[in-house]
Structure formats: C-alpha cells, structure tokens
Structure 1
Amino acid sequence: MSVTFNGKSGEVDGDGWNLMDTDNRSKYRCRPQISVCWIGAAVVCLVLLLTMIMVAQNTSAISHWDTKFEKLIYEISKSRDDLRDERDQLKIQCSNLTKEMESLQSQYNTLAASRDKLQEDIDMLTHNRTDKPCNHGWIKFNNKCYYVSPNGVTKTWENSRKDCREKGADLVIITTKEEQDFVSGRNGVSWIGLHRGESEDEWKWVDGTGLVDHGFWQKDEPNNSDGEEDCVEVSSAAMAWNDVPCKRKFSWVCED
C-alpha cells in the first residue's frame, strides 16, 4: 500500500488517514482553565448535595427527638395530673376522717354523759337502799342486810345456797375486812359464797366474779388436802377462810 502524506494539510491519500493539520487541531484542544472550572463546579455541587443530605438527616433526627420529647412531656404532665388527682382524693378522705372523728367524739361525749347520769342514778338508788329496812330476822351491817342461819341448824354448801336463794338472796360475798370480821363472829363455822372454779387454783363467788387479791385465808390454806375441798367456810375461832368438801354441813350466811 502506498501512502502519500501531505504535511501541510495533514491528509493521507489513498488508503491512509486524512488528518487535520496541527493548527486546526489546536483549536479543538481542551483548555486547562475550563476543566478546572468544571471540576470546581462539580465539587461545589457535591458539597451542596452532601450538605442537603446532612441537613435532611439532621432534620429527621431533630424531628425524631422532638417526638420523643413531646411524648416524655406528655407522660410527665399526665403523671403530674394523676398526682394532683390523688392529692385531691387524699384531701377529701382526710376531710371525711376529720368529720367522722368529730362525730365519734360527739358520740363519746354523749355516752360519757349517759354514763355519768347512770352513775348518779346508781348512787341515788344506793342511798335510797340505805334507808330501806331489812326483812324480819335479817341483820343490817354497813347498809347491807344479812341472814344468819339459826344456831345449831346446818346444811351442805349447796343446800345452804338453796335456802339463801329461796329468800331472794345468795350466800355472802365478802369484800372487806370489816365484812369478814362481821361474818366470822356470827356462828362457830359458816358457809360463804366462795367455791372452786374450773381449775384447782381458781376461786369464784356465787355471782360469777373471781376472787380479788389473796382474800382472808387461814395459814397454809387453801390446800385441797383430800382433793375434794371445793367450798369455803369461815370460823369464828380462826376468823379466816378454809377450803373443805362441799358435802359437809355447817351454818350459813346469806346476803341480800
């Protein structure tokens, strides 16, 4: 193949290339200043794009945090309101309790007044009783009436109590030293209204009350020596109590 090169025109004849000359090619070469400008513009756009992305992300994060803060504020506000409601309920309950306490105090005052009035009535009845004479055959002592069985007449503890109850009274209940001395001096040995309760160490009066303090026992009494000493007698010799079997027969003293 033959190639003819024309240096001026840059053409290649025949089967070769037809190239522009050097001057013409220089017109279409990229200028460095224009390339730099385009690169700068691209960088600026990229920075703007990244900035927009970051702003969008920050905006989304801020929106997310705003939502969380709003929820937190709502919960705090709700808790505050609930506490206020609870406080108001407690105030109402406190007020109701105060009113109830005042009502109870008023009731107590009323009951106390009634109690005092009953005590006055009891005192008056007691006073009136002191003026009441004892029945025929009864002995008056310290504003009480006593019946002493006839000398030489004896009964068991149960039958002695039966006799007292038929007279509208009961076996004597001794509560004072003066009464003890009075009863002890009536007969040789007399039944009184004291008997053993459910246990060996329990003593009860005929009215169901228990023995107060030590009582007026003889020395080393009560001893329940034979295991059946469940009733109590008082003797003029010892001037004190002794537990004996209830089936024994003694005089007795009733108290109205």
Structure 2
Amino acid sequence: MSLSFNSKSGEVEGDGWNLMSSGSRSNHGWRSRSSVCWIGAAALCLGLLLLTVIMVAHNTSAVNQWDSKYTDLIHQLTQGRDKLSDERDQLKIQSSNLTQELEVLRSQYNEVVDSRDKLQEDIKNLHLNKTDKSCKPGWIKFNNTCYIFSPCGASLTWKGARKDCQQKGADLVIITTRDEMDFVKSSFAVTWIGLSRHEHEDKWKWVDGTFLDGDGFWQDGEPNNSDGEEDCVELSRSATAWNDVPCKQRFPWVCED
C-alpha cells in the first residue's frame, strides 16, 4: 500500500484510500494524536521495563558473585579466629605451667636463702666461739688455739707422746705457720710434732689424716731417712726446722687442742 500527502487538502492518501479526509480530520484529529502518544508511552515503558529487567539480572549476578566472595571471606575469618583461639588456649596453658614452675623455683630459692642464712649464722657463731675459746687449766692459748707442753724432763716415743695427747682429748701439734713453729720450739731443744710416714707409704701425713701440703719446714738435706726407719718428725730449736728420725727415739712433746 502506498501513501501520499495532499498539500492542499492536508490529507493523506494511499491506493485511492483517504486515511484522513478533510471532513473527518476535525473529528478524529485529537484521537489520532492520543493514540500516537499512547503508543510512544507504551514503547517507552516497555523499553524501561526491559532495561530494568537487564539491570536486575546484571545486579543479581553481581550480588551472587559478591555473596560468594563474602561467604569465602567469612569462612577464612572464621578459620583464622578459631586458630587464634587455639593459640590463645595453648598460651594460657603454657602461662599456667610457667606460673607453677615459677612458684616452685621461688620456693626452692627461699629454701636456699634460708639455708644460706643459717650457714652464715653458724659460721658467725663458730667464729665467736673460736674467738671466745678458753683453754683448760694448764693449757696455753696462742692464736686462739690451746697447747700443752709435756712436763720438764719427760720424754716418750712418738707413739707414746701421741697417746698422752689423745688421753687429754687432743693430739700432737700440727704446725702450719712459722709463727706457730717459733711458739712450739720455745720450751724444748727437740720436740715431737704430729707428722709421720707410715710403713709402705712415701708421703708424710699429719695426725688428722691430711697429707703434708707443700715443702714444709725441713732442715737442709732432710728428710733423708738415713737408717731406713726415720718415719717420725721432730722440731729442732737450734735449727728451727724439721728432721726425720726413728719413731722409737724419746723426746718431749707438745699437744694441740
């Protein structure tokens, strides 16, 4: 079908059919315009609806993707939280164990401190007792030690002299310093001291069981064991030194308490 527009009459013609005659234009003009507007509005609404549907579909896909990522993130955070909770619980257990160990160590430390303080007090008392030590009648005090010399004119073998000291609750003198040696030699020309060498032994030993420490105070060339039986020691006043002699010889002696 072809359409034509008559400029004079303002009519549209097509294949001899007048779509809009001059007589009816005035009656149907407004209705035609309304129809056109309605069709345009309907087309616009359909377009907007279609656009809305597309946007909703797009947004739904985006929301689904975001929801999946959000779910994964929540899962990771939950795992991290649980791991931190486990570590926290382990740290609490370790802290509790360390606290118990600390208490045990503190208790042990206090016991050691108490023991140390007691030992210090004992040492202090021993020093006081040593300083305040008084000698029995007939004994002589020198450097906080008590000594007794054998009676004038008395002499015994080394074993006899030691037995006499032991009966007095003491023993033959042990000389550790030159001052003590000078004190001991003051009464007799020759004096037994508590140093000897027992048979089958090559070391000199004091009467308290300790071995001679260092070179001692020997005379020149002594000890020489000249007759093979010089196993006991005497102190010579003239030489202010020691000499090894046979234990069966008889000399004065000095006891030390």
Interval of TM-score (by shorter of Structure 1 and Structure 2): 0.5 to 0.7
Is 1:161 aligned to residue 162 of structure 2?
A: yes
Q: Tell whether the 8 Å contact from 1:195 to 1:203 is kept in structure 2 after alignment.
A: yes
Identify the residue that residue 152 of structure 1 maps to in structure 2.
Answer: 153
Identify the residue that residue 59 of structure 1 maps to in structure 2.
Answer: none
Alignment of 1:1-256 (within 5 A): 110-111=111-112, 114-115=115-116, 117-197=118-198, 199-256=200-257
Q: SS in structure 1 opposite 2:115?
A: helix
Q: SS in structure 1 opposite 2:253?
A: strand
State the Cα deviation string for residues 126-182 of structure 1 (Å, max 9, x = none): 322332321121111001100011221100011101110111111111111211111
The Cα of 1:107 is off from its aligned counterpart by 5.2
In structure 2, C-alpha distance between the alignment counterparts of 1:233 and 1:240, rounded to whole Å: 9
Give TM-score scaled by structure 2 length: 0.55
Distance 1:248 1:107, change over 3 A: farther
The Cα of 1:199 is off from its aligned counterpart by 4.8
The count of corresponding residues between Structure 1 and Structure 2 is: 162
Q: Give the gaps of 5 or more residues in structure 2.
A: 1-93
Q: Percent sequence identity over matched residues?
A: 65
In structure 2, C-alpha distance between the alignment counterparts of 1:242 and 1:131, rounded to whole Å: 35
In structure 1, C-alpha distance between the alignment counterparts of 2:110 and 2:199, rounded to whole Å: 40
State the Cα deviation string for residues 30-62 of structure 1 (Å, max 9, x = none): xxxxxxxxxxxxxxxxxxxxxxxxxxxxxxxxx
Distance 1:196 1:131, change over 3 A: same
State the Cα deviation string for residues 59-117 of structure 1 (Å, max 9, x = none): xxxxxxxxxxxxxxxxxxxxxxxxxxxxxxxxx9xx99xx6xx9789758845753563
Give TM-score scaled by structure 1 length: 0.55
Q: Tell whether the 8 Å contact from 1:185 to 1:239 is kept in structure 2 after alignment.
A: no
Q: Tell whether the 8 Å contact from 1:171 to 1:255 is kept in structure 2 after alignment.
A: yes
Over aligned residues, Cα RMSD in angstroms?
Answer: 2.9
Q: SS in structure 1 opposite 2:155?
A: coil
The Cα of 1:186 is off from its aligned counterpart by 2.1
Q: Give the gaps of 5 or more residues in structure 1.
A: 1-91
Q: SS in structure 1 opposite 2:148?
A: strand
